[in-house]
A and B are shown apart, each in its own frame.
Chain A
Amino acid sequence: MTMKLTIISEMQKVAEEQHKTLVPLSEDLVLLDSGFDSLCFAVLVARLEDKLGFDPFTRGDDGTLPLTVGDLVRIYENAAAVA
């Protein structure tokens, strides 16, 4: 599964569990408009850490948080490349 598909499928699971409705996800969709609140993102990051074995946000990098779905996927892809 590509990183994008992994992330989107995990987002859908989290949305279902948290009883949130996701809008259709596109590369340039602003994450805050996706239907997720911060707790959903926090859960998503924890789930992806268990699945992928890393959390790109707690590695002491520059700490930039993603704006769009595309940003989010790229952060994970870049982290996977050096993992």
Chain B
Amino acid sequence: MPRPLRDWLSETANGGERFLHARGASVALDDLVHGSSLGGDLAALDGACVLVLTRDQLTAALTLIELDGVARRMILCPADFAREHLPVVIAKAGVDAIVSDEDTRDLRPLGVPLHVTCAPAIAPDPATQPGSRQTEWILFTSGTTGIPKMVVHTLASLTSAIKPRAQRDGRIVWATFYDIRRYGGLQILLRAVLDGGSLVLADTEESIHDHLARLGTHGATHVTGTPSHWRRVLMSPAAHAMAPPYVRLSGEIADQAALDGLHALYPQARIVHAFASTEAGVGFEVADAREGVPASTIETPGNGAKLKIEDGSLRISSPGNASRYLGDGDPPIAAPDGFVDTNDMMELRNGRYYFIGRRGRIVNVGGLKVHPEEVEAVINRHPAVRVSLVHPRRNAITGSVVVADVVLREHLDVKDGAYTEGLRREIVEMCIGELARHKVPAAVRFVPSLTFSASGKLARHYA
């Protein structure tokens, strides 16, 4: 029987020296050992299926720690969760309680019997003790369209990649640009609880400059985000507000330009990029500061997971795999062989595997395949380029061509026609040198910025 989170909290308590830092409020985690943020309603949630629908990450974090072991099931709604999906989610998951930090009167028509308010503060409650249930943690996939799928985890599957430290170090200050209600962010909340450190939470209302200043103030040591999050850091004058000894990238392909940029920005930092997905869990991590993955890591990831490349895509079998989807007959996530197909396509070159893109995002140019991400990887290597987005454009001759939207490093003047024309040619030349002809972008446009989804990834509206 795995131990509930509150149990971990009491074991890692260090005398009130560890905190959850939100924008404008900090809470001492140890207070939760004999306290509650749920206003005396924790007992009423015993055995319930709880929709955790808070505006702030702090209230969500407190609720999740309190309810693990108590609730039968918790559904984690990230900040951008579309309210129009609530009726379907409530019906499919069998929700009988909502925990929120906002007025929920407008949710009454949904027919959920119990509404509980969570405060961004902990009140003493001597009666509080860890529950003994194996709570199901339900996460939404970060799909772009339609009703997101609900993925079933347990604390055991979510924490399977977290190795216990030989010595707990209360001075570790975790921070993540992710929402902790998504897989990548939740990993960091759980690490902070299990490892005994503090955690600085993100806030969607906050500018990147203010966020970085806050990370500096709290002395963030272990900071995680997607390559897109990190590119925003690289573009911010406030990047030097912090000096983390550990930087981690996951959730998107980490290209060499982003890794090199971070190394130059934080020369003292250990820079690690990792693969994880909501369904498959943590796959591997790479610490040599180079893009791609050594073939030996795929063979022996060393974290209890088994990896293989089959039919071009990465497959993971691990105690970190989610067990099933919720609803519609609860289909299993792993194939009969026990492996979860990530649909992330990899290619072996000189002893290293490289991500080349997603299955299903392939563009067909005159009958030949292009992964937008493999083209972006080449473009992003140009020293003047910050980030690029390659997407298909309809074409009467070949059906489609690929075109590139390119964001330059901020100090470059995009309005200088002769200069940008020269850059455009250089980028096309680089692509011609490294890619098959049909993969070379037919057009390159310089744009001031690209949009990002709420999960911190480059928005690919065309997919």
List chain A positions with a Cβ less than 8 A from chain B.
17-19, 38-39, 41-43, 45-47, 49-50, 55, 57-58, 63, 65
Contacts and interface: CB of A to CB of B under 8 A. Distances in A.
A46 B442 contact: yes
Contacts of A45: 395-397
Per DSSP, chain A at the interface is: helix
Contacts of A17: 425, 428-429, 432
9 contacts: A17-B432, A39-B437, A41-B397, A43-B443, A45-B396, A47-B442, A55-B396, A58-B394, A65-B397
B365 A42 contact: yes
Given A18-B432, A39-B438, 8 more contacts: A17-B432, A18-B437, A38-B366, A38-B397, A45-B396, A49-B393, A50-B443, A55-B394
Contacts of B396: 45, 55, 57-58, 63, 65
For the complex of A and B, the 9 pairs showing the least CB-CB separation, nearest first, are A57-B396, A46-B442, A42-B398, A43-B442, A42-B397, A46-B443, A41-B397, A42-B395, A50-B443
Contacts of A63: 396
A42 B428 CA distance: 15
Interface string B428-447: 11001000011010110100
Interface of B: 365-366, 393-398, 401, 403, 425, 428-429, 432, 437-438, 440, 442-443, 445
A3 B54 CA distance: 58
A30 to B, nearest CB: 15
Nearest to A65: B396
Contact of A43 (B401, B429, B445): B401
Contacts of B398: 38-39, 42
A49 B397 CA distance: 14
Nearest to A51: B443
Contacts of B440: 43
A45 B443 CA distance: 10
Nearest to B438: A39
A20 to B, nearest CB: 10
A1 to B, nearest CB: 15
B443 A47 contact: yes
A27 to B, nearest CB: 21
Nearest to A56: B396
A71 B367 CA distance: 26
A48 B158 CA distance: 51
Given A39-B366, A39-B438, A58 B443 contact: no
Contacts of B395: 42, 45-46, 55, 57-58
A58 B401 CA distance: 13
Given A17-B425, A50-B443, A57-B396, A42 B366 contact: yes
A23 B414 CA distance: 35
Contacts of A47: 442-443
A18 B432 CA distance: 8
A23 B437 CA distance: 21
A57 to B, nearest CB: 3
Tell me which of A19, A46, A58 has the highest count of chain B C-beta atoms within 10 A of its own C-beta.
Answer: A46
Given A42-B401, A63-B396, A49 B366 contact: no
Contacts of B425: 17
Nearest to B428: A17
A57 B366 CA distance: 16
Nearest to A17: B428
B94 to A, nearest CB: 48
B412 to A, nearest CB: 19
A43 B437 CA distance: 11
Contacts of B437: 18, 39
B405 to A, nearest CB: 11
Nearest to A16: B425
Contacts of A65: 396-397
